[in-house]
Amino acid sequence: MNIEIGNALAPTAIPGVSRESLERLDDEVSRAHERIETGIEAGRPGYKALDLGDTVDPATITETVEPIPANGPVIVVGMGGSALGARAMARALAPEREWYVLDTIDPTKLVRQLDEIDLSQAVCHVVSHSGNTVETRVTFEVIRSAMEDAGIEWRDRTVATTTAESPLGELVEAADIPRFDPPSGVPGRYSVLSEMALPSAAMLGIDIEGLLEGARSVRAELTPSLFETPAYAYGATMAALSSRGVSQNAFIPYAEDLDGVAHWFGQLWAESLGKDGIGQTPIAGRGIADHHAHLQRWRAGPRDLVVTTLSVDHPTSLTVSPGADLGEVDLTTLHELERKAAEASLVIDGRPVVRLELEALDAYNLGALFVSLEAACMLYGELRAINPFDQPAVEWAKQAVRDVLSGYDTHRTRALDDEPILHIS
């Protein structure tokens, strides 16, 4: 991943980061880098995510899933970090395979999916770090029992990633299903390049060794300076912009197949940085389509938003002649032209724009992109004194659901029954 941050600098961008401020910030980057490096080397929780390229063994993953007949549909059951990474990889690297990431308990949707998927040919990867995620357990049971009811030997077509001592872990151990341990100390949103998502990637025929190689390349090239490290340049620029009032980050891939990466990034950024009353809201978007929907607001709304474009070379060649006034149009050229035009329109109006550049849409570059953005997120946390590895604000709702399911009467369950106050119909 390369990066262009010139259009986020003051005085071009308002607000923007002055070159002098960026140089001052680089001292802090150097200290933060030291903490990150120490964290990685000591295998500290969170930081060790940046080391997955070296600590994950792709051969074990490949050998474990090898006996599973994964030529047909691949179903992933999981929530949050157990779904978004798998979907990002499948969308980008296995667009011609049939796959389903079921991070939903919507009964209408699930009943329709059961109708649509040929379960007799399907395989399933069920993923829950804790082994106790209610939605994952429920949705997996929907799939498992549908297979069982159809006389399909689900035990031969399922692989799990979960903790042994957990409800899900006990279920899969009892059924003698292959089980991967989740990487300890790696939060879900940083775990895409681990046993959390690589088994389904392998079943989809994705080059998981390539992904890990890309991860290693970024890890090896982290330096103490943002001016030499694209990942840190991104994290530092975003941290500096956020402390200048830029509270929104529209993350816009210019390739439909990178749509899943934008949503994966959304969780990474929101859950890692949205705490203590600060943070920068990620907004997943789609290049070019969003010019016809959101560009108006990006360019003319409040000056609290940065646009991150993510560009990649399109190798496909397609040329058409839609009319005499347009002549012959090469879609790759037009695609790039439209991105540049949108970026320029923002820049001349003083809106900060950061461009991330991917050399190619392949496993190596995608692995590198994941780790670059994770390192950027950790650096942002360091610079703004936020712990980027926890997510305390989501516990209340989880516990409330558990309280109700357990039949308890608690302050949480009572809060659910509060009457509406101003209802208009």
Helices 230-243 & 19-41 angle (0-180, nearest 10): 120
Instruction: Single out the residue of 18, 31, 107, 184 in contact with a copy of itself (rule: CB under 8 A).
Output: 107
Instruction: Single out the residue of 9, 173, 185, 387 in contact with a copy of itself (rule: CB under 8 A).
Output: 9
Give the closest residue to 353 by CA, choosing from 362, 340, 369.
Answer: 340
What are phi and psi for residue 4, nearest 5 degrees? Answer: -120, 115
**Residue 292 annotated as catalytic:** yes
Which among 148, 153, 228, 398 is annotated as catalytic?
Answer: 398
Q: Is the peptide bond preceding residue 302 cis, with omega within 30 degrees of 0?
A: no
Check binding of 97 to a copy of itself (CB under 8 A). no
Give the closest residue to 274 by CA, choosing from 373, 387, 399, 188.
Answer: 387
The sign of the torsion formed by the CA atoms of 185, 188, 192, 198 equals positive
Check binding of 158 to a copy of itself (CB under 8 A). no
Spatial contact of 157 and 118, defined as CB atoms under 8 Å apart = no
What three-state secondary structure class fits 173? helix
Report the Cα–Cα distance between both ends of the chain, in Å, rounded.
51
Check binding of 331 to a copy of itself (CB under 8 A). yes
Site string for a copy of itself, 165-204 (x = CB under 8 A): --x---x----------------xx---------------
In the bound state with a copy of itself, the residue whose beta carbon lies nearer, of 30 and 332, is: 332
> For residues 158 and 304, what is the distance between their CA atoms, to the nearest angstrom?
46
DSSP structure string for 385-402: T--TT--GGGHHHHHHHH
Check binding of 142 to a copy of itself (CB under 8 A). yes
Check binding of 412 to a copy of itself (CB under 8 A). yes
Residue type, 246: V
Which among 96, 165, 292, 328 is annotated as catalytic?
Answer: 292
As measured in angstroms, the least distance from the Cβ of 67 to a copy of itself is: 26
The sign of the torsion formed by the CA atoms of 308, 18, 359, 197 equals negative
- Residue ranges in 299-318 that form contacts with a copy of itself under rule CB under 8 A: 299-305, 314-318
> Site size for a copy of itself, by CB under 8 A?
132
As measured in angstroms, the least distance from the Cβ of 60 to a copy of itself is: 27
**Residue 271 annotated as catalytic:** yes
Check binding of 405 to a copy of itself (CB under 8 A). yes
Site string for a copy of itself, 197-226 (x = CB under 8 A): -----------------------------x
As measured in angstroms, the least distance from the Cβ of 282 to a copy of itself is: 8
Check binding of 377 to a copy of itself (CB under 8 A). no
Buried b (16+ CB within 10 A) or exposed e, 301-313: eebebbbbbbbbe
Instruction: Single out the residue of 42, 59, 174, 421 in contact with a copy of itself (rule: CB under 8 A).
Output: 421
Which among 135, 195, 271, 343 is annotated as catalytic?
Answer: 271
- Residue ranges in 247-286 that form contacts with a copy of itself under rule CB under 8 A: 247-248, 255-257, 263, 266-267, 270-271, 273-279, 281, 283, 286
Which residues are the active-site residues? 271, 292, 398
